Structure 1
């Protein structure tokens, strides 16, 4: 007798159960931006205080907002095929970078701080601006 009552109860449960649709909305995704530069051998300037060669790279895409909120990544290459993330030791030289709105400074020196000659060939540079919203 209990089994006869169980079947109608299950059917009523299916009939009166409700399903709700859930809509998932996605916020607009701001893509990262990648800018490539060729740093010529003639672009390097010497800073006698730090014994460092540096090349200023104008990057107007790094505005005040990007400077405060976005991630700025820099990569270098000698052939535009194999890229290395900075900071890095590349061909025996240590490369680092600093930036402020409008400019990235690519710097090179020896790891021990000794003075070296600036790069004599073109250094291909890729700057990636990773957009981010502040919390």
Structure 2
């Protein structure tokens, strides 16, 4: 039994000593304050939108990476977009160089008031595949 254990033990150590390669791709976070006056409407108030200049989000990120967008009304608690809050349906459209944040009624085609000021946190996630 001891002889068997002395043969198996070095084999187990060799197997567990294999080198593992781990790739860590850091993300980038951009925080933007949006004033209430930044929201514009092109359809008399059914949809409000605001552009956010985002040069960090380039063609490569748009094709290969990912983007997460969060909004906060109190600069402390962030909630992920898309979401519905107080009758507003928030969403976003990302293109290389910018994102457009939109707000519209969560109900059927209802004119809504201009959205309030908010802080937006944008997380850019690179990919290495």
Q: Deviations over 1:89-135 (max 9, x none)?
A: 1232110101100111000010123221211x32110111122234x
- Which stretches of structure 1, 4 residues or longer, exceed 6 Å deviation after superposition? none
- SS of the residue corresponding to residue 14 of structure 1 reads helix
Please state if 1:14 is matched with 2:10: no
Q: Tell me how far apart the structure 2 counterparts of residues 133 and 97 of structure 1 sit (CA, whole Å).
A: 25
Task: Classify 1:14/1:80 alpha carbon distance in 2 versus 1 (closer, same or farther; 3 Å).
Answer: same
- Tell me the TM-score normalized by structure 1: 0.79
Give the length in aligned residue pairs. 125
**Paired residue for 2:104?**
109
- Structure 1: unaligned runs, 5 residues or longer: 1-6
- Tell me the TM-score normalized by structure 2: 0.82
Please state if 1:39 is matched with 2:34: yes
What is the CA RMSD across the aligned residues, in angstroms?
A: 2.5
Task: Point out the structure with max Rg over C-alpha.
Answer: 1
Task: Classify 1:15/1:124 alpha carbon distance in 2 versus 1 (closer, same or farther; 3 Å).
Answer: closer
- SS of the residue corresponding to residue 55 of structure 1 reads strand
- Structure 2: unaligned runs, 5 residues or longer: none
**Paired residue for 2:56?**
61
